[in-house]
């Protein structure tokens, strides 16, 4: 599928595959954290997704322009603010809020996927690691009229919620379920920690994502969901109020 068709047909996007094929602009200017990026082809709007390729060494971001969810693809990365130090290794993730200033350092270089919520509301500067081991609490299940089979048991933990509640990041798990295709009002980035899930989009394109995969479901996509085993994921969701 070509990039143009992928953008025109709202669907799911394999972000590891995107990262492998992305090219960082050779003439990037400024600190590498903000400048050394390749951007996923999405419609201009409330969400952008990029590959960040950091060289060996360190740099400084004076002010992050918007909230960003970060997930490390490879390497190791340390983020230091005036009041915290966050170390990311092995597919770990964090949220950095709008207005944050920080120093980054990487001994061997690092690559990350960044999901930016464009036009974020004002927030207290913070770097918030996603706690994959946080205790999960019962949460809402898919609508009964969309389900094929029994209602699943779902649980959630929220690490970050923006002031306007539109950008939310955390962890979630569920027992197996099959949900018919539905329109997505939101963007959702997912990193599967356990299990697998099969999506079918509105054009009949089908893909199964498994433990370790990172992918995005676009706002405006029509997708079904089928998981035949327990699933746990880290998520970053932009959902308009």
Q: Domain ends where: 73, 100, 129?
A: 129
What average pLDDT does this structure show over 175-179?
98
The pLDDT mean for the chain works out to 95
Structural domain ending residue among the three candidates 111, 129, 147: 129
State whether 111 and 153 are in the same domain. no
Last residue of a domain, one of 102, 129, 156: 129
- Return the CA Rg of the chain: 18
Domain shared by 113 and 150, yes or no: no
In terms of domains, do 65 and 176 share one? no
142 CB neighbour count, 10 Å cutoff: 17
Q: What is the DSSP string of the chain?
A: --HHHHHHS--EEEHHHHHHH----TT--S-HHHHSEEE----SSSEEEEEEEEPSEEEEES--SS-EEEEEEEEEEEEE-SS-EEEEETT-EEEE-TT--EEEEESS-EEEEEEEETTPPP----EEE--TTSPPEEEPPPPGGGBSSSPPPEEEEEEEE-TTS-EEEEEEEE--EEEEEEE-SSEEEEEEEESEEEEEETT--EEEEETT-EEEEPTT-EEEEEESS-EEEEEEEE---
Contact 209, 196 (CB under 8 A): yes
pLDDT tens by residue, 197-217: 999 999 999 999 999 999 999
- Per the CB < 8 A criterion, the answer to whether 217 and 184 are in contact is yes
Cα dist from 90 to 8, 77, 100, 105, whole Å: 33, 10, 24, 16
| Domain shared by 154 and 116, yes or no | no
The pLDDT of residue 27 is 79
CATH number for the domain harbouring residue 163: 2.60.120.10
Total number of domains constituting the chain = 2
Phi/psi at 157 (nearest 5 deg)? -140, 130
* Residues 18 and 121 occupy one common structural domain: yes
Q: Are residues 110 and 172 in the same domain?
A: no
User: 106 and 12 in one domain?
Assistant: yes
Do 180 and 203 lie in one domain? The reply is yes
Domain residue limits at 155: 137-238
- pLDDT at position 12 is 97
10 and 103 co-located in one domain: yes
181 with 63, same domain: the answer is: no
Question: What tens digit of pLDDT does each residue of 65-111 get?
Answer: 999 999 999 999 999 999 999 999 999 999 999 999 999 999 999 99
% of the chain residues with pLDDT over 90: 93
């Amino acid at each position: 599928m070509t990039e143009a068709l992928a953008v025109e047909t709202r669907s799911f996007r394999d972000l590891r595959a995107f990262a492998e094929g992305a090219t960082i602009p050779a003439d990037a200017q400024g600190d590498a954290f903000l400048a050394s990026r390749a951007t996923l082809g999405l419609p201009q709007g409330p969400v952008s997704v990029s590959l960040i390729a950091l060289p060996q060494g360190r740099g400084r971001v004076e002010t992050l322009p918007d909230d960003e969810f970060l997930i490390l693809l490879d390497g190791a990365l340390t983020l230091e603010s005036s009041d915290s130090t966050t170390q990311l290794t092995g597919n770990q993730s964090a949220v950095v809020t709008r207005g944050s200033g920080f120093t980054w350092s990487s001994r061997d270089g690092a690559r990350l996927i960044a999901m930016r919520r464009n036009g974020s509301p004002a927030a207290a500067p913070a770097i918030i690691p996603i706690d994959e081991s946080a205790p999960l609490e019962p949460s809402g299940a898919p609508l009964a009229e969309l389900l094929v089979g029994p209602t699943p048991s779902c649980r959630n933990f929220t690490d970050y919620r923006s002031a306007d509640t539109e950008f939310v990041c955390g962890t979630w798990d569920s027992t197996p379920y099959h949900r018919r295709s539905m329109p997505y009002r939101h963007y959702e980035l997912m990193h599967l920690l356990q299990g697998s899930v099969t999506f079918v989009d509105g054009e009949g394109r089908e893909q199964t994502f498994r433990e370790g995969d990172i992918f995005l479901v676009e706002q405006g996509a029509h997708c079904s969901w089928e998981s035949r085993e327990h699933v746990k994921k880290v998520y970053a969701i932009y959902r308009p109020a």
